[in-house]
């Protein structure tokens, strides 16, 4: 059964690992699909951070759009997919990088990630997507 607008937006706002897909730009290649952290608040734009100049960021820039799927298997099988156009791509701020780490990691792990792991990457870009098309379903109800 499809989710209501409120249900799908609330589900997308939870910290799931997303599967991002973007056109590969080549007739002989499937779309690039990769796991990714993302941010979303109901009614707003979805955002991701990625390394500037990465294949993912280059393909998103070329396509001008991407899709993201999130799912869970408990307590019911549920998924949401969203597709839309890129509305901005700007250098990531320290606040965005901190917010993303804190969304997915416990406080101590987020602090360690920001101090020890993030500096091993190159400059990041924050890409914002305006949701335009949604698919969703919940395959059962909690009994």
Peptide bond before residue 18 is cis, with ω within 30 degrees of 0:
no
pLDDT at residue 142, as a whole number: 54
- Number of Cβ atoms within 10 Å of the Cβ of 135: 14
Distance CA 47, CA 82 (A): 12
Q: How far apart are CA 18 and CA 1, in angstroms?
A: 21
**Which ranges of the chain have pLDDT less than 50?**
none
Looking at residue 94, its pLDDT comes to: 96
Q: What's the pLDDT at 141?
A: 67
Q: Report the predicted TM-score, pTM, of the whole model to 2 decimal places.
A: 0.94
**Quick one: pLDDT at residue 140?**
85
């Amino acid at each position: 059964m499809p989710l209501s607008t409120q249900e799908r937006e609330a589900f997308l706002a939870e910290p799931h690992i997303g599967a991002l897909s973007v056109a590969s730009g080549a007739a002989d290649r499937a779309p690039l699909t990769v796991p990714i952290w993302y941010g979303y608040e109901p009614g707003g734009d979805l955002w991701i951070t990625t390394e500037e100049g990465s294949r993912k960021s280059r393909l998103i820039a070329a396509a001008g759009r991407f899709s993201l799927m999130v799912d869970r298997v408990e307590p019911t099988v549920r998924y949401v997919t969203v597709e839309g156009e890129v509305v901005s791509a700007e250098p990531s701020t320290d606040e965005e990088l901190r917010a993303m780490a804190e969304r997915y990691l416990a406080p101590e792990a987020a602090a360690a990630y920001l101090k020890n792991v993030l500096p091993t990457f190159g400059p990041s870009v924050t890409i914002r997507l305006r949701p335009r098309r949604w698919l969703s379903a919940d395959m059962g109800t909690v009994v």
